[in-house]
Amino acid sequence: MTKILGIDPGKTTGWANITVNDNKIELGIFGNTKDTTLVDLIPDIKTADIVVYEAWLTRPKHLQRGAFDWDPMITPQVIGSLLTLCKALERPEPVKQQPSIKPVGYAFAGMKYVPGKQGMHWQDALAHAVFYAVKKLGALPVRKSS
């Protein structure tokens, strides 16, 4: 059995727990937090065998438009908190995934991906966890419920 914690970092950070057992994905608890230090996720980090998070990069097109002028850069701070907590709690180094995997991750999780839709934090976290489970652990995708 492998426990995976998916993280979608940001001002609101989505998180999702899944378990892979005999190539089957079992969905666990998930939610959102506004705690940018992620201290409230310590119990989840402690019990996870693998932590997967969405990477964040400053994109040149956004910089050129001035999108980050005076921005406190919360997402990179949250990622720093995650990396620090994993190290302090003696957990394996978290796995970084690009945002571009979300459409496939959503499909693997039995969810519909809507490009650009806001407020999908725990769903994004779940997509990252499930994508890892399918691609790296050989788990079967989650079936849509009828």
pLDDT tens digits, one per residue of 22-79: 999 999 999 999 999 999 999 999 999 999 999 987 766 766 676 667 667 899 999 9
Residue reference for tokens 């009828």: 146
Query: For the whole prediction, is pTM greater than 0.85?
Result: yes
pLDDT tens digits, one per residue of 68-118: 676 678 999 999 999 999 999 999 999 999 999 999 999 999 999 999 899
The domain segmentation of the chain, as residue ranges, is 2-137
d(CA 112, CA 5): 20
What is the maximum span of the chain, computed from C-alpha positions, in angstroms? Answer: 49
pLDDT on residue 133: 98
Q: Is residue 145's pLDDT more than 60?
A: no
Average pLDDT of the segment spanning 118-133: 97
CATH superfamily of domain region 2-137: Ribonuclease H-like superfamily/Ribonuclease H (3.30.420.10)
Q: Residue 92 belongs to what H/E stretch?
A: none
Q: Is residue 146's pLDDT more than 80?
A: no
CB proximity list for 49: less than 8 A, separation 6 or greater: 2, 3, 4, 92
Instruction: Judge contact between 56 and 75, C-beta under 8 A.
Output: yes
Mean pLDDT, the chain, integer: 93
